Structure 1
Amino acid sequence: DRLDEAAASSALFSVNAPGLFAFRTQDHGPKQAGAPLRPWAEAELAKAGVSLDGGAIRLVTFPRHLFYKFAPLSLWYGYGPDGDLRGIIYEVNNTFGESHSYVAAVKAGRNRHSAPKSFHVSPFFDVTGTYRFTLRSPEDKLGVVVESLKDGNCLHMANITARKRPATRANLLKLAVTNPLSTLGVTVGIHWQALKIWLRGAGYRSKPNPPETTSTIALPLQIRNAGKRRDAA
Protein backbone atom coordinates (compact mmCIF):
# COMPACT_ATOMS: atom_id res chain seq x y z
CA ASP A 1 0.00 0.00 0.00
CA ARG A 2 2.97 2.36 0.50
CA LEU A 3 5.32 1.49 -2.35
CA ASP A 4 5.68 5.10 -3.51
CA GLU A 5 6.59 6.14 0.02
CA ALA A 6 9.12 3.31 0.24
CA ALA A 7 10.71 4.33 -3.06
CA ALA A 8 11.13 7.89 -1.79
CA SER A 9 12.59 6.85 1.57
CA SER A 10 16.18 6.39 0.34
CA ALA A 11 18.24 6.60 -2.83
CA LEU A 12 19.52 3.11 -1.98
CA PHE A 13 16.05 1.54 -2.24
CA SER A 14 14.01 1.49 -5.43
CA VAL A 15 10.66 0.15 -6.61
CA ASN A 16 10.48 -1.45 -10.07
CA ALA A 17 13.87 0.06 -10.93
CA PRO A 18 17.54 -0.88 -10.44
CA GLY A 19 19.02 -0.18 -7.03
CA LEU A 20 21.29 -1.50 -4.30
CA PHE A 21 18.09 -2.80 -2.70
CA ALA A 22 15.04 -3.08 -4.93
CA PHE A 23 11.42 -4.20 -4.74
CA ARG A 24 9.85 -5.46 -7.95
CA THR A 25 6.16 -6.24 -8.04
CA GLN A 26 6.76 -9.09 -10.51
CA ASP A 27 8.64 -11.00 -7.78
CA HIS A 28 5.52 -11.33 -5.62
CA GLY A 29 1.89 -12.43 -5.66
CA PRO A 30 0.74 -13.05 -9.24
CA LYS A 31 4.40 -12.88 -10.41
CA GLN A 32 3.45 -10.81 -13.46
CA ALA A 33 5.15 -7.62 -14.60
CA GLY A 34 2.83 -4.67 -14.09
CA ALA A 35 0.19 -6.69 -12.22
CA PRO A 36 -1.13 -4.85 -9.13
CA LEU A 37 -0.50 -6.68 -5.87
CA ARG A 38 -3.44 -5.56 -3.75
CA PRO A 39 -6.22 -7.19 -5.85
CA TRP A 40 -4.28 -10.46 -5.79
CA ALA A 41 -3.84 -10.35 -2.00
CA GLU A 42 -7.49 -9.44 -1.42
CA ALA A 43 -8.63 -12.34 -3.62
CA GLU A 44 -6.36 -14.79 -1.79
CA LEU A 45 -7.55 -13.62 1.64
CA ALA A 46 -11.18 -13.86 0.51
CA LYS A 47 -10.66 -17.61 -0.03
CA ALA A 48 -10.22 -17.87 3.77
CA GLY A 49 -13.27 -15.71 4.41
CA VAL A 50 -11.21 -12.60 5.17
CA SER A 51 -12.40 -9.16 4.06
CA LEU A 52 -10.22 -6.15 4.78
CA ASP A 53 -12.86 -3.53 3.95
CA GLY A 54 -10.18 -1.26 2.52
CA GLY A 55 -7.68 -1.83 5.34
CA ALA A 56 -3.92 -1.93 4.87
CA ILE A 57 -1.87 -4.78 3.44
CA ARG A 58 1.76 -5.11 4.55
CA LEU A 59 4.29 -7.41 2.94
CA VAL A 60 7.34 -8.73 4.78
CA THR A 61 9.86 -10.23 2.36
CA PHE A 62 13.43 -10.11 1.11
CA PRO A 63 14.08 -7.35 -1.46
CA ARG A 64 16.38 -7.77 -4.40
CA HIS A 65 19.98 -7.10 -3.38
CA LEU A 66 22.47 -6.40 -6.15
CA PHE A 67 19.84 -7.69 -8.61
CA TYR A 68 19.49 -11.09 -6.88
CA LYS A 69 16.16 -12.16 -5.39
CA PHE A 70 14.99 -15.19 -3.46
CA ALA A 71 12.58 -15.26 -0.55
CA PRO A 72 11.65 -18.75 0.70
CA LEU A 73 8.76 -17.24 2.65
CA SER A 74 6.95 -13.93 2.20
CA LEU A 75 4.32 -12.81 4.69
CA TRP A 76 1.30 -10.75 3.66
CA TYR A 77 -0.51 -9.20 6.64
CA GLY A 78 -4.06 -7.99 6.02
CA TYR A 79 -5.63 -5.40 8.35
CA GLY A 80 -9.10 -4.00 8.84
CA PRO A 81 -9.81 -0.24 8.65
CA ASP A 82 -9.33 0.09 12.41
CA GLY A 83 -5.87 -1.53 12.26
CA ASP A 84 -6.88 -4.97 13.54
CA LEU A 85 -5.00 -7.89 11.98
CA ARG A 86 -7.49 -10.06 10.07
CA GLY A 87 -5.62 -12.35 7.71
CA ILE A 88 -2.25 -13.74 6.69
CA ILE A 89 -0.84 -15.13 3.46
CA TYR A 90 2.20 -17.37 3.82
CA GLU A 91 3.65 -17.18 0.31
CA VAL A 92 6.09 -20.09 -0.01
CA ASN A 93 8.66 -20.05 -2.83
CA ASN A 94 10.94 -22.87 -3.90
CA THR A 95 14.28 -22.73 -5.71
CA PHE A 96 12.60 -23.79 -8.98
CA GLY A 97 10.84 -20.44 -9.37
CA GLU A 98 7.46 -21.77 -8.21
CA SER A 99 5.26 -20.48 -5.40
CA HIS A 100 2.21 -21.48 -3.40
CA SER A 101 0.21 -19.58 -0.79
CA TYR A 102 -1.22 -20.82 2.51
CA VAL A 103 -3.98 -18.45 3.60
CA ALA A 104 -5.61 -18.04 7.01
CA ALA A 105 -7.84 -15.79 9.06
CA VAL A 106 -6.09 -14.48 12.17
CA LYS A 107 -6.75 -12.52 15.33
CA ALA A 108 -4.60 -10.26 17.50
CA GLY A 109 -1.81 -11.90 19.48
CA ARG A 110 -0.41 -15.36 18.79
CA ASN A 111 -1.96 -17.60 16.15
CA ARG A 112 -1.38 -21.18 15.05
CA HIS A 113 -2.62 -22.72 11.81
CA SER A 114 -2.44 -26.09 10.09
CA ALA A 115 -2.64 -26.88 6.39
CA PRO A 116 -2.02 -29.98 4.28
CA LYS A 117 1.35 -29.80 2.57
CA SER A 118 0.58 -29.32 -1.11
CA PHE A 119 3.72 -27.79 -2.61
CA HIS A 120 7.20 -29.15 -3.36
CA VAL A 121 9.93 -27.33 -1.43
CA SER A 122 12.74 -29.82 -0.81
CA PRO A 123 13.94 -32.88 -2.78
CA PHE A 124 14.42 -34.66 0.57
CA PHE A 125 10.82 -34.38 1.78
CA ASP A 126 7.66 -35.79 0.22
CA VAL A 127 4.70 -33.55 -0.53
CA THR A 128 2.78 -35.26 2.26
CA GLY A 129 1.91 -34.44 5.84
CA THR A 130 1.00 -31.00 7.14
CA TYR A 131 2.48 -27.60 7.84
CA ARG A 132 1.97 -25.98 11.21
CA PHE A 133 2.40 -22.22 11.25
CA THR A 134 2.82 -20.26 14.49
CA LEU A 135 2.52 -16.52 14.05
CA ARG A 136 2.81 -13.55 16.36
CA SER A 137 1.28 -10.17 15.48
CA PRO A 138 4.21 -8.29 13.92
CA GLU A 139 4.11 -4.84 15.54
CA ASP A 140 7.81 -4.04 16.22
CA LYS A 141 9.09 -7.64 16.25
CA LEU A 142 8.43 -10.41 13.75
CA GLY A 143 8.10 -14.01 14.90
CA VAL A 144 7.07 -16.95 12.69
CA VAL A 145 7.66 -20.68 13.11
CA VAL A 146 6.94 -23.15 10.28
CA GLU A 147 6.97 -26.87 11.10
CA SER A 148 6.69 -29.76 8.65
CA LEU A 149 4.78 -32.58 10.37
CA LYS A 150 4.22 -36.21 9.46
CA ASP A 151 2.61 -38.90 11.61
CA GLY A 152 2.65 -36.57 14.60
CA ASN A 153 6.39 -35.84 14.38
CA CYS A 154 8.08 -32.61 13.34
CA LEU A 155 10.51 -33.45 10.52
CA HIS A 156 11.76 -29.94 9.92
CA MET A 157 11.35 -26.53 11.53
CA ALA A 158 12.15 -23.00 10.36
CA ASN A 159 12.13 -20.14 12.87
CA ILE A 160 12.07 -16.58 11.52
CA THR A 161 12.61 -13.58 13.79
CA ALA A 162 13.31 -9.95 12.94
CA ARG A 163 12.97 -6.44 14.33
CA LYS A 164 11.55 -3.48 12.48
CA ARG A 165 14.04 -0.80 11.37
CA PRO A 166 13.38 2.32 9.26
CA ALA A 167 14.72 2.05 5.70
CA THR A 168 17.03 5.04 6.09
CA ARG A 169 20.19 5.53 4.05
CA ALA A 170 22.32 4.81 7.13
CA ASN A 171 20.50 1.56 7.96
CA LEU A 172 20.63 0.33 4.37
CA LEU A 173 24.34 1.11 4.10
CA LYS A 174 24.96 -0.72 7.36
CA LEU A 175 23.07 -3.76 6.05
CA ALA A 176 25.00 -3.69 2.77
CA VAL A 177 28.33 -3.59 4.63
CA THR A 178 27.59 -6.08 7.43
CA ASN A 179 25.61 -8.52 5.27
CA PRO A 180 26.67 -7.88 1.67
CA LEU A 181 25.13 -11.09 0.29
CA SER A 182 21.92 -11.10 2.33
CA THR A 183 19.50 -12.63 -0.18
CA LEU A 184 22.12 -14.83 -1.85
CA GLY A 185 23.06 -16.05 1.62
CA VAL A 186 19.52 -17.37 2.05
CA THR A 187 19.89 -19.56 -1.04
CA VAL A 188 23.36 -20.73 0.03
CA GLY A 189 22.00 -21.57 3.49
CA ILE A 190 19.15 -23.61 2.02
CA HIS A 191 21.54 -25.66 -0.12
CA TRP A 192 23.91 -26.11 2.82
CA GLN A 193 21.09 -27.51 4.95
CA ALA A 194 20.07 -29.76 2.04
CA LEU A 195 23.64 -31.07 1.81
CA LYS A 196 23.68 -31.91 5.52
CA ILE A 197 20.36 -33.75 5.21
CA TRP A 198 21.68 -35.71 2.21
CA LEU A 199 24.88 -36.62 4.08
CA ARG A 200 22.72 -38.05 6.87
CA GLY A 201 21.29 -40.49 4.35
CA ALA A 202 18.06 -38.85 3.18
CA GLY A 203 16.78 -40.12 -0.15
CA TYR A 204 16.30 -37.82 -3.15
CA ARG A 205 12.76 -37.19 -4.46
CA SER A 206 12.16 -35.98 -8.00
CA LYS A 207 10.23 -32.73 -8.30
CA PRO A 208 6.52 -33.37 -8.94
CA ASN A 209 4.32 -31.13 -11.03
CA PRO A 210 3.13 -28.03 -9.16
CA PRO A 211 -0.37 -28.18 -7.64
CA GLU A 212 -3.31 -27.18 -9.84
CA THR A 213 -4.44 -24.56 -7.33
CA THR A 214 -2.34 -21.57 -6.32
CA SER A 215 -3.34 -21.57 -2.65
CA THR A 216 -4.39 -23.74 0.29
CA ILE A 217 -6.55 -22.68 3.24
CA ALA A 218 -4.89 -23.02 6.65
CA LEU A 219 -7.19 -23.69 9.61
CA PRO A 220 -6.76 -22.38 13.18
CA LEU A 221 -5.30 -24.57 15.93
CA GLN A 222 -5.16 -24.25 19.69
CA ILE A 223 -1.81 -23.04 21.01
CA ARG A 224 -0.11 -25.92 22.78
CA ASN A 225 3.30 -27.60 22.98
CA ALA A 226 4.81 -28.59 19.65
CA GLY A 227 5.18 -32.22 18.69
CA LYS A 228 8.40 -34.18 18.78
CA ARG A 229 11.06 -32.56 16.58
CA ARG A 230 13.54 -34.63 14.61
CA ASP A 231 15.34 -31.98 12.59
CA ALA A 232 15.63 -28.22 12.87
CA ALA A 233 17.19 -25.57 10.70
Structure 2
Amino acid sequence: MTGTPALYPCTVSHVRTAPTRYALRHRTYMWLTDPDHPPRLPLPLRPLAGFDPRDHFDGDLPTIRAGLDRFLAGHGIDLRGGPVTMLTHARVLGHVFNPLTLYWCHDPGGAPRCVVAEVHNTYGERHCYLLLPDDGGTAREQRDDHRAVAADEPAEPARSSEPPSRRAEAPVREDRRPEREPHRFGKRLHRTEKRFYVSPFFPVDGEYRMRLPLPDDRLDLMVRLERAGTRPFTATVRGTRRAATAGTLLRAALRHPWSTAAVSAAIRVHGIRLYLRGLPVQPRPHHRSQESDT
Protein backbone atom coordinates (compact mmCIF):
# COMPACT_ATOMS: atom_id res chain seq x y z
CA MET A 1 0.00 0.00 0.00
CA THR A 2 1.01 3.58 -0.51
CA GLY A 3 2.34 5.56 2.44
CA THR A 4 0.16 8.50 3.47
CA PRO A 5 -0.49 11.37 3.80
CA ALA A 6 0.51 12.95 0.50
CA LEU A 7 -0.51 15.79 -1.79
CA TYR A 8 -1.11 15.40 -5.52
CA PRO A 9 -1.00 18.56 -7.62
CA CYS A 10 -3.06 17.36 -10.58
CA THR A 11 -4.82 18.18 -13.83
CA VAL A 12 -8.49 17.29 -14.23
CA SER A 13 -9.64 16.89 -17.85
CA HIS A 14 -13.18 16.42 -19.19
CA VAL A 15 -13.87 15.52 -22.82
CA ARG A 16 -17.47 15.51 -24.03
CA THR A 17 -18.15 14.13 -27.51
CA ALA A 18 -21.96 14.14 -27.64
CA PRO A 19 -24.31 15.76 -28.34
CA THR A 20 -21.63 18.36 -28.99
CA ARG A 21 -17.87 18.24 -28.55
CA TYR A 22 -16.48 20.19 -25.60
CA ALA A 23 -13.30 19.85 -23.55
CA LEU A 24 -12.04 21.48 -20.37
CA ARG A 25 -8.99 21.24 -18.15
CA HIS A 26 -8.27 22.71 -14.76
CA ARG A 27 -5.49 22.32 -12.23
CA THR A 28 -6.01 21.65 -8.56
CA TYR A 29 -4.58 19.43 -5.82
CA MET A 30 -5.92 16.49 -3.83
CA TRP A 31 -5.03 14.75 -0.58
CA LEU A 32 -4.18 11.08 -0.14
CA THR A 33 -4.70 10.23 3.50
CA ASP A 34 -5.92 7.71 6.04
CA PRO A 35 -9.48 8.54 7.13
CA ASP A 36 -8.66 6.98 10.53
CA HIS A 37 -5.80 9.43 11.01
CA PRO A 38 -6.21 12.60 8.93
CA PRO A 39 -3.25 14.99 8.91
CA ARG A 40 -2.73 17.10 12.04
CA LEU A 41 -1.56 20.42 10.67
CA PRO A 42 0.06 23.32 12.51
CA LEU A 43 -2.61 25.68 13.80
CA PRO A 44 -1.92 28.45 11.21
CA LEU A 45 -2.40 25.98 8.34
CA ARG A 46 -5.59 24.32 9.53
CA PRO A 47 -7.90 26.64 7.55
CA LEU A 48 -6.20 25.30 4.38
CA ALA A 49 -7.06 21.63 4.96
CA GLY A 50 -9.99 20.33 6.97
CA PHE A 51 -11.34 16.77 6.89
CA ASP A 52 -14.89 16.96 8.15
CA PRO A 53 -17.07 13.83 8.47
CA ARG A 54 -20.10 15.93 7.53
CA ASP A 55 -18.72 16.11 3.99
CA HIS A 56 -18.88 12.35 3.39
CA PHE A 57 -21.48 9.56 3.38
CA ASP A 58 -24.53 10.54 5.47
CA GLY A 59 -22.49 13.10 7.39
CA ASP A 60 -23.99 12.15 10.75
CA LEU A 61 -21.20 10.10 12.35
CA PRO A 62 -18.19 11.43 14.26
CA THR A 63 -15.53 10.25 11.77
CA ILE A 64 -15.20 9.63 8.04
CA ARG A 65 -14.10 6.06 8.75
CA ALA A 66 -17.23 5.42 10.78
CA GLY A 67 -19.35 6.57 7.82
CA LEU A 68 -17.42 4.31 5.47
CA ASP A 69 -17.72 1.30 7.78
CA ARG A 70 -21.48 1.80 8.09
CA PHE A 71 -21.83 2.05 4.31
CA LEU A 72 -19.83 -1.16 3.83
CA ALA A 73 -21.79 -2.95 6.55
CA GLY A 74 -24.94 -2.18 4.61
CA HIS A 75 -23.44 -4.23 1.78
CA GLY A 76 -22.31 -7.09 3.99
CA ILE A 77 -18.64 -6.08 4.15
CA ASP A 78 -16.61 -5.88 7.37
CA LEU A 79 -13.00 -4.73 6.97
CA ARG A 80 -12.31 -5.83 10.59
CA GLY A 81 -10.27 -2.69 11.14
CA GLY A 82 -8.22 -3.10 7.96
CA PRO A 83 -6.50 -0.01 6.55
CA VAL A 84 -8.19 2.44 4.19
CA THR A 85 -6.59 5.01 1.90
CA MET A 86 -8.70 8.01 0.87
CA LEU A 87 -8.21 10.43 -2.04
CA THR A 88 -10.19 13.63 -1.60
CA HIS A 89 -10.34 17.40 -1.56
CA ALA A 90 -10.04 18.89 1.90
CA ARG A 91 -12.03 21.85 3.15
CA VAL A 92 -10.28 25.10 2.26
CA LEU A 93 -11.30 28.20 4.22
CA GLY A 94 -14.45 26.40 5.32
CA HIS A 95 -15.58 25.31 1.83
CA VAL A 96 -15.34 21.94 0.09
CA PHE A 97 -16.62 20.45 -3.13
CA ASN A 98 -15.66 16.87 -3.94
CA PRO A 99 -16.74 15.69 -7.40
CA LEU A 100 -15.09 12.35 -6.60
CA THR A 101 -13.71 10.89 -3.37
CA LEU A 102 -12.14 7.42 -3.51
CA TYR A 103 -11.56 4.89 -0.73
CA TRP A 104 -9.26 1.90 -1.29
CA CYS A 105 -10.20 -0.63 1.39
CA HIS A 106 -8.06 -3.51 2.69
CA ASP A 107 -8.40 -6.39 5.10
CA PRO A 108 -6.25 -6.49 8.27
CA GLY A 109 -3.46 -8.29 6.37
CA GLY A 110 -3.31 -5.56 3.74
CA ALA A 111 -5.04 -7.42 0.89
CA PRO A 112 -7.47 -5.29 -1.19
CA ARG A 113 -11.17 -5.78 -0.47
CA CYS A 114 -12.97 -3.09 -2.45
CA VAL A 115 -13.00 0.45 -3.78
CA VAL A 116 -15.72 2.95 -2.85
CA ALA A 117 -16.27 5.81 -5.30
CA GLU A 118 -18.22 8.65 -3.65
CA VAL A 119 -19.62 11.04 -6.25
CA HIS A 120 -20.93 14.53 -5.45
CA ASN A 121 -22.98 16.77 -7.72
CA THR A 122 -23.50 20.51 -7.59
CA TYR A 123 -27.03 20.07 -6.18
CA GLY A 124 -25.83 19.07 -2.71
CA GLU A 125 -26.29 15.34 -3.30
CA ARG A 126 -23.90 12.39 -3.20
CA HIS A 127 -23.92 8.74 -4.13
CA CYS A 128 -21.49 5.87 -3.48
CA TYR A 129 -20.53 3.12 -5.91
CA LEU A 130 -19.05 -0.03 -4.34
CA LEU A 131 -16.57 -1.94 -6.54
CA LEU A 132 -15.18 -5.36 -5.67
CA PRO A 133 -12.47 -7.63 -7.13
CA ASP A 134 -13.55 -11.21 -7.76
CA ASP A 135 -11.41 -14.28 -7.14
CA GLY A 136 -9.62 -13.77 -10.44
CA GLY A 137 -8.84 -10.14 -9.70
CA THR A 138 -11.50 -8.88 -12.13
CA ALA A 139 -13.20 -5.65 -11.19
CA ARG A 140 -16.94 -5.81 -10.64
CA GLU A 141 -19.73 -3.72 -9.22
CA GLN A 142 -21.54 -4.52 -5.98
CA ARG A 143 -25.18 -3.79 -6.63
CA ASP A 144 -27.62 -2.68 -4.00
CA ASP A 145 -29.28 -6.12 -4.21
CA HIS A 146 -25.85 -7.76 -3.67
CA ARG A 147 -25.55 -9.04 -7.26
CA ALA A 148 -22.46 -8.24 -9.31
CA VAL A 149 -21.58 -7.34 -12.89
CA ALA A 150 -18.22 -8.61 -14.14
CA ALA A 151 -15.93 -6.38 -16.17
CA ASP A 152 -13.22 -8.41 -17.84
CA GLU A 153 -12.12 -5.74 -20.30
CA PRO A 154 -8.40 -4.95 -20.06
CA ALA A 155 -7.45 -1.45 -19.07
CA GLU A 156 -6.49 1.06 -21.70
CA PRO A 157 -2.89 2.28 -21.57
CA ALA A 158 -2.54 5.59 -19.76
CA ARG A 159 -1.79 8.60 -21.90
CA SER A 160 -0.32 11.25 -19.64
CA SER A 161 0.61 14.74 -20.70
CA GLU A 162 2.10 15.52 -17.29
CA PRO A 163 5.86 16.04 -16.93
CA PRO A 164 7.92 13.16 -15.54
CA SER A 165 7.47 12.74 -11.82
CA ARG A 166 9.96 14.29 -9.44
CA ARG A 167 11.07 12.99 -6.09
CA ALA A 168 8.98 13.95 -3.09
CA GLU A 169 10.32 16.43 -0.60
CA ALA A 170 10.69 13.76 2.08
CA PRO A 171 11.01 9.97 1.95
CA VAL A 172 7.66 8.23 1.77
CA ARG A 173 7.09 5.54 4.37
CA GLU A 174 6.45 2.16 2.80
CA ASP A 175 3.72 0.18 4.51
CA ARG A 176 4.41 -3.49 5.10
CA ARG A 177 2.95 -5.68 2.37
CA PRO A 178 1.50 -9.08 3.15
CA GLU A 179 3.46 -12.09 1.96
CA ARG A 180 0.65 -13.02 -0.39
CA GLU A 181 -1.65 -10.44 -1.91
CA PRO A 182 -4.43 -12.12 -3.89
CA HIS A 183 -5.57 -8.93 -5.62
CA ARG A 184 -4.11 -5.53 -6.24
CA PHE A 185 -5.74 -2.25 -7.14
CA GLY A 186 -4.25 -2.23 -10.64
CA LYS A 187 -5.44 -0.70 -13.89
CA ARG A 188 -8.43 -2.94 -14.51
CA LEU A 189 -11.63 -1.26 -15.57
CA HIS A 190 -14.46 -1.25 -13.05
CA ARG A 191 -17.93 -1.37 -14.60
CA THR A 192 -20.95 0.09 -12.87
CA GLU A 193 -24.38 1.24 -13.97
CA LYS A 194 -24.87 4.98 -13.72
CA ARG A 195 -27.40 5.62 -10.95
CA PHE A 196 -26.80 9.25 -10.00
CA TYR A 197 -27.52 12.58 -11.69
CA VAL A 198 -24.29 14.53 -12.14
CA SER A 199 -24.26 16.61 -15.33
CA PRO A 200 -27.58 18.31 -16.18
CA PHE A 201 -26.95 17.40 -19.83
CA PHE A 202 -26.91 13.61 -19.35
CA PRO A 203 -29.82 11.49 -18.09
CA VAL A 204 -29.30 8.79 -15.47
CA ASP A 205 -28.63 5.88 -17.83
CA GLY A 206 -25.71 4.05 -19.36
CA GLU A 207 -22.76 2.79 -17.38
CA TYR A 208 -19.39 3.97 -16.17
CA ARG A 209 -16.03 2.37 -16.82
CA MET A 210 -13.57 3.44 -14.13
CA ARG A 211 -9.81 2.87 -13.96
CA LEU A 212 -8.89 3.52 -10.32
CA PRO A 213 -5.38 2.30 -9.45
CA LEU A 214 -4.19 3.13 -5.95
CA PRO A 215 -1.90 6.16 -6.40
CA ASP A 216 1.83 5.80 -5.80
CA ASP A 217 4.32 8.25 -7.32
CA ARG A 218 1.67 8.98 -9.93
CA LEU A 219 -2.04 9.66 -9.79
CA ASP A 220 -3.77 8.37 -12.94
CA LEU A 221 -7.55 7.91 -12.83
CA MET A 222 -10.13 7.60 -15.60
CA VAL A 223 -13.94 7.63 -15.55
CA ARG A 224 -15.78 7.09 -18.84
CA LEU A 225 -19.51 7.15 -19.49
CA GLU A 226 -20.87 4.72 -22.08
CA ARG A 227 -24.37 5.02 -23.52
CA ALA A 228 -25.93 2.94 -26.30
CA GLY A 229 -22.59 1.91 -27.76
CA THR A 230 -21.11 5.42 -27.59
CA ARG A 231 -18.61 7.08 -25.26
CA PRO A 232 -19.96 10.60 -24.82
CA PHE A 233 -17.91 11.62 -21.78
CA THR A 234 -14.46 10.85 -20.35
CA ALA A 235 -12.80 12.39 -17.30
CA THR A 236 -9.19 11.90 -16.22
CA VAL A 237 -7.24 12.98 -13.15
CA ARG A 238 -3.44 12.90 -13.43
CA GLY A 239 -0.81 14.21 -11.07
CA THR A 240 2.45 13.64 -9.24
CA ARG A 241 2.93 12.75 -5.60
CA ARG A 242 4.39 15.28 -3.17
CA ALA A 243 5.12 14.80 0.50
CA ALA A 244 2.46 16.50 2.64
CA THR A 245 4.79 19.09 4.15
CA ALA A 246 3.84 22.58 5.25
CA GLY A 247 5.81 24.00 2.34
CA THR A 248 4.05 21.79 -0.21
CA LEU A 249 0.64 22.77 1.13
CA LEU A 250 1.45 26.48 1.16
CA ARG A 251 2.70 26.36 -2.43
CA ALA A 252 -0.38 24.46 -3.56
CA ALA A 253 -2.69 26.90 -1.78
CA LEU A 254 -0.92 29.89 -3.36
CA ARG A 255 -1.09 28.38 -6.84
CA HIS A 256 -4.73 27.39 -6.44
CA PRO A 257 -6.30 29.79 -3.94
CA TRP A 258 -9.58 28.59 -2.43
CA SER A 259 -9.25 25.55 -4.66
CA THR A 260 -12.53 23.78 -3.88
CA ALA A 261 -14.61 26.91 -4.47
CA ALA A 262 -12.73 27.41 -7.75
CA VAL A 263 -13.60 23.86 -8.88
CA SER A 264 -17.27 24.35 -8.01
CA ALA A 265 -17.40 27.71 -9.82
CA ALA A 266 -15.63 26.31 -12.90
CA ILE A 267 -18.17 23.50 -13.23
CA ARG A 268 -21.01 26.02 -13.19
CA VAL A 269 -19.30 28.32 -15.71
CA HIS A 270 -18.77 25.46 -18.14
CA GLY A 271 -22.37 24.36 -17.60
CA ILE A 272 -23.59 27.83 -18.59
CA ARG A 273 -21.44 27.69 -21.73
CA LEU A 274 -22.90 24.35 -22.74
CA TYR A 275 -26.43 25.60 -22.07
CA LEU A 276 -25.78 28.62 -24.29
CA ARG A 277 -24.66 26.24 -27.02
CA GLY A 278 -28.15 24.77 -26.97
CA LEU A 279 -27.67 21.56 -25.01
CA PRO A 280 -31.01 20.48 -23.51
CA VAL A 281 -31.18 20.12 -19.75
CA GLN A 282 -32.27 16.66 -18.58
CA PRO A 283 -34.81 16.34 -15.75
CA ARG A 284 -33.19 15.67 -12.40
CA PRO A 285 -34.74 12.74 -10.53
CA HIS A 286 -35.24 12.94 -6.79
CA HIS A 287 -32.23 11.83 -4.79
CA ARG A 288 -31.89 11.92 -1.03
CA SER A 289 -29.60 14.82 -0.14
CA GLN A 290 -26.55 13.86 1.89
CA GLU A 291 -24.57 17.07 1.62
CA SER A 292 -24.15 19.17 4.75
CA ASP A 293 -25.41 22.72 4.48
CA THR A 294 -22.59 23.98 6.65
Give the TM-score of the pair, scaled to structure 2: 0.63
Partner of 2:165: none
Partner of 1:197: 274
CA drift at 1:36: 3.1
Report sequence identity in percent: 31
Corresponding residue pairs, total: 207
1:208 to 259, 281, 285: 285
2:132 to 95, 98, 105: 105
1:150 to 227, 250, 271: 227
Is 1:10 equivalent to 2:42 in the alignment? yes
Counterpart-to-counterpart distance in 2, 1:111 and 1:105 = 11
CA drift at 1:150: 0.6
1:123 to 177, 200, 205: 200
Secondary structure at 2:234's aligned position in 1? strand
Give the TM-score of the pair, scaled to structure 1: 0.79
**Greater alpha carbon shift after TM alignment, 129-138 vs 49-58:** 49-58
Partner of 1:26: 54
Which runs of 5 or more residues in structure 1 are unaligned? Answer: 215-233
What is the CA deviation profile of residues 78-126 of structure 1, one whole-angstrom value per residue up to 9, with x for unaligned ones? 0222323321110000111110001111431212111111111121111
Higher relative contact order (CA 8 A, sep 6+): 2
User: Any residues of structure 2 matched to 1:59-208 within 5 Å, and which?
Assistant: 59-106=86-133, 107-108=183-184, 109-208=186-285
CA drift at 1:3: 5.2
**In the alignment, residue 90 of structure 1 is paired with which amino acid?**
A
Which runs of 5 or more residues in structure 2 are unaligned? Answer: 1-33, 134-182
Kindly indicate whether the alpha-carbon contact (under 8 Å) linking 1:6 and 1:13 is maintained by their aligned counterparts in 2: no
Counterpart-to-counterpart distance in 1, 2:245 and 2:113 = 29
**In the alignment, residue 48 of structure 2 is paired with which amino acid?**
L
Secondary structure at 2:43's aligned position in 1? coil
Segments of 4+ moved more than 4 angstroms: 1-5, 46-51
Counterpart-to-counterpart distance in 1, 2:106 and 2:216 = 12
Q: Which has the higher helix share?
A: 1
Secondary structure at 1:154's aligned position in 2? strand
